[in-house]
C-alpha cells in the first residue's frame, strides 16, 4: 500500500479570496448553499441548526460521493479480480489515504476504519488494554469524558483487575494538568483523554499530556470525535499513540469512523473481531492473521461510508482549517457574549481554549423545556446529560442545554437562539 502524498488543497470558491480577507475567510452564505438540509423549514420557520456536536449536516459533495459509489463503483473490496471490485477497492483505499493525510499519520496502514469513535475506543480497550493491563494496573481518564471514553475502560479494568482513575477539572472546565501529572504513576498503562469536550468545548493540550504520559511509559489514546470537524489534527506532532474519530461529526456519513494507531502498536495488538479479510490464511488447526489495518477490519467494511468520509475530508480541505477555525471562533465569541448578556443564564465551560460548543442553564427552566420551546421556533439545540453524566455530576447539574456550531453556523443563528430564549423566559416568568 502506498502512503498518501499530501499537497496544498486547491483554492475553494467557498472562501473569499480578496486581499482584505487574506484568503482565510469563509464565504458562509456559499458554504450554506452546499448543505441542502439547511433549506428545510421546520414548522414553517427557517432551520437554525445548532446541534452539530451531536451530528453535523452533510454537504452535497458527500451525498453525491455516496450515491456515486453505489451508482458506479459498487462491488466488494479486496477479494475480487473484476473491474468493479478493483474500482471499489481503489475508492476504499483512496479514502484511507485521505484520512492518513487528514491526520498526518506516517503510514496509511495506521488508519483502521471502524463504525465510529465508540467502536475505535472499544477496539483499543479490548485488544491493547486487555493484553497490557494486569492486576493493580491503571487507566487514567479525565472528569470531562464522554461515556464512550469511560465505559469501555470500566469494562476492561473490571475484567483485568485494573483501576480506573480520573484527572479532575476546575469550575471553568479546564483540565488540572498538575493533578493529571500527579496521577500518572508507574502502574499507569494508558491515558485516555478527549481532545475537545462535547459539553464544555474545552480544548485539551494533547501534546503536553502525551509528554507527561510517555515520560512514565504510559500510552495515550485521544478521543477526537469533537476535534476532527474544528481543529487541524497532526497525530505525529501531538505524539499520541491512538486517535479516534467519527465521520458523521465531520460532515461525513454515519456508520464510519477511524482508529489511528501507531504502526508498532497495531502490529503487536491481537485482532478485535474474527472473520473474513482479517486473515492471511485459515485452516481448522490454525489461522494466520492479516497485517494492519486489515487485521482489525473483519467482514465487509462500510465501503460507501469510507468513500463519503473521503469526500468530507476533501470538503474540509477545500474550506481550509484556518478559515473554518477563524469563522467558528467568531461565531462562538459572538454567541458567548450574547448568551452571557441574558439575565438568569449561566454558561457552563469557560476555558480560554474552547471550540464550538456552548452549554448553558437558565434559572427556573429545565433544559428539556428550553429545547422543546426553541424547537417550535425552528431552533435545534440539544438538552440532557450529553452522554457525560459523571461530568455533569462534578458540575452539580443533571442536564444542560447545548448549542453547538459548525462551518455553516452564523451570527444570525445566534440571534435566532437568543430571540428564542427570550420567549422561553417569557413563558416561564
Ligand X SMILES: Cc1ncc(COP(=O)(O)O)c(C=O)c1O
- The catalytic site residues sit at 387
HSE of 133 in the Cβ direction (CA atoms, 13 Å)? 28
Q: What's the closest the beta carbon of residue 128 comes to ligand X, in angstroms?
A: 18
Residue (54 or 418) nearer to ligand X, CB:
54
Q: What's the closest the beta carbon of residue 264 comes to ligand X, in angstroms?
A: 26
C-alpha cell belonging to residue 399: 442536564
Please state the length of the chain. 429
Query: β-strand 163-167 against 138-142: which pairing, if any?
Result: parallel
Query: β-strand 138-142 against 111-114: which pairing, if any?
Result: unpaired
Residue that has been written with the C-alpha cell 504513576 in this structure: 185
Q: What's the closest the beta carbon of residue 33 comes to ligand X, in angstroms?
A: 27
Contacts of 184 (CB under 8 A, 6+ apart): 140, 191, 212, 213, 216, 218
Q: What's the closest the beta carbon of residue 361 comes to ligand X, in angstroms?
A: 19
Adjacent-strand bridge partners of 112: 259
Residue (194 or 409) nearer to ligand X, CB:
194
Residue (223 or 317) nearer to ligand X, CB:
223
Spatial contact of 136 and 163, defined as CB atoms under 8 Å apart: yes
Residue (257 or 335) nearer to ligand X, CB:
257
- Let me know if 85 is exposed, middle or buried by CB neighbors in 10 A (0-12, 13-18, 19+): middle
Element (H, E) at 225: none
Residue (226 or 290) nearer to ligand X, CB:
226
C-alpha cell belonging to residue 327: 469563522
Which residues contact ligand X (rule: CB under 6 A)?
116-118, 146, 148-149, 194, 198, 223, 225-226, 246
Instruction: Report the C-alpha gap between 6 and 346 in whole angstroms.
Output: 44
Q: What's the closest the beta carbon of residue 112 comes to ligand X, in angstroms?
A: 14
Amino acid at each position: 500500500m502506498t502512503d498518501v502524498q499530501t499537497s496544498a488543497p486547491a483554492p475553494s470558491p467557498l472562501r473569499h479570496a480578496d486581499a482584505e480577507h487574506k484568503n482565510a475567510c469563509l464565504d458562509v452564505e456559499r458554504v450554506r448553499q452546499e448543505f441542502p438540509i439547511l433549506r428545510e423549514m421546520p414548522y414553517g420557520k427557517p432551520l437554525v441548526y445548532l446541534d452539530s456536536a451531536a451530528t453535523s449536516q452533510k454537504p452535497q459533495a458527500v451525498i453525491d460521493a455516496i450515491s456515486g459509489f453505489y451508482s458506479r463503483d459498487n462491488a466488494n473490496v479486496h477479494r475480487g479480480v473484476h473491474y468493479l471490485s478493483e474500482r471499489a477497492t481503489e475508492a476504499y483505499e483512496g479514502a484511507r489515504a485521505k484520512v492518513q493525510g487528514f491526520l498526518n499519520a506516517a503510514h496509511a496502514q495506521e488508519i483502521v476504519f471502524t463504525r465510529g469513535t465508540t467502536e475505535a475506543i472499544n477496539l483499543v480497550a479490548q485488544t491493547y488494554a486487555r493484553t497490557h493491563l494486569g492486576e493493580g494496573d491503571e487507566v487514567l481518564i479525565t472528569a470531562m469524558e464522554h461515556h464512550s471514553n469511560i465505559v469501555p475502560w470500566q469494562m476492561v479494568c473490571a475484567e483485568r483487575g485494573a483501576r480506573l482513575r480520573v484527572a479532575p477539572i476546575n469550575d471553568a472546565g479546564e483540565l488540572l494538568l498538575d493533578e493529571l501529572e500527579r496521577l500518572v504513576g508507574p502502574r499507569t498503562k494508558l491515558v485516555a483523554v478527549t481532545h475537545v469536550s462535547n459539553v464544555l468545548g474545552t480544548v485539551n493540550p494533547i501534546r503536553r499530556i502525551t509528554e507527561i504520559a510517555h515520560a512514565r511509559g504510559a500510552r495515550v489514546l485521544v478521543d477526537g470525535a469533537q476535534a476532527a470537524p474544528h481543529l487541524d489534527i497532526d497525530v505525529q506532532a501531538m505524539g499520541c499513540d491512538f486517535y479516534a474519530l467519527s465521520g458523521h461529526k465531520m460532515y461525513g456519513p454515519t456508520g464510519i469512523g477511524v482508529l489511528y494507531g501507531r504502526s508498532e502498536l497495531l502490529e503487536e495488538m491481537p485482532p478485535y473481531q474474527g472473520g473474513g479479510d482479517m486473515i492471511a490464511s485459515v485452516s481448522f488447526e490454525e489461522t494466520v492473521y492479516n497485517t494492519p489495518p486489515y487485521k482489525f477490519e473483519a467482514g465487509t467494511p462500510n465501503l460507501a461510508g469510507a468513500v463519503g468520509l473521503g469526500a468530507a475530508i476533501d470538503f474540509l480541505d477545500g474550506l481550509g482549517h484556518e478559515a473554518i477555525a477563524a469563522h467558528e471562533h467568531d461565531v462562538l465569541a459572538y454567541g458567548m457574549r450574547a448568551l452571557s448578556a441574558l439575565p438568569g443564564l449561566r454558561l457552563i465551560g469557560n476555558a480560554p481554549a474552547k471550540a464550538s460548543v456552548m452549554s448553558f442553564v437558565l434559572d427556573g427552566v429545565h433544559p428539556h423545556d428550553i429545547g422543546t420551546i426553541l424547537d417550535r421556533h425552528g431552533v435545534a439545540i440539544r438538552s440532557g446529560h450529553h452522554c457525560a453524566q459523571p461530568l455533569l455530576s462534578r458540575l452539580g447539574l443533571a442536564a444542560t442545554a447545548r448549542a453547538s456550531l459548525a462551518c455553516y453556523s452564523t451570527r444570525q443563528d445566534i440571534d435566532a437562539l437568543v430571540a428564542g430564549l427570550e420567549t422561553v423566559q417569557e413563558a416561564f416568568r
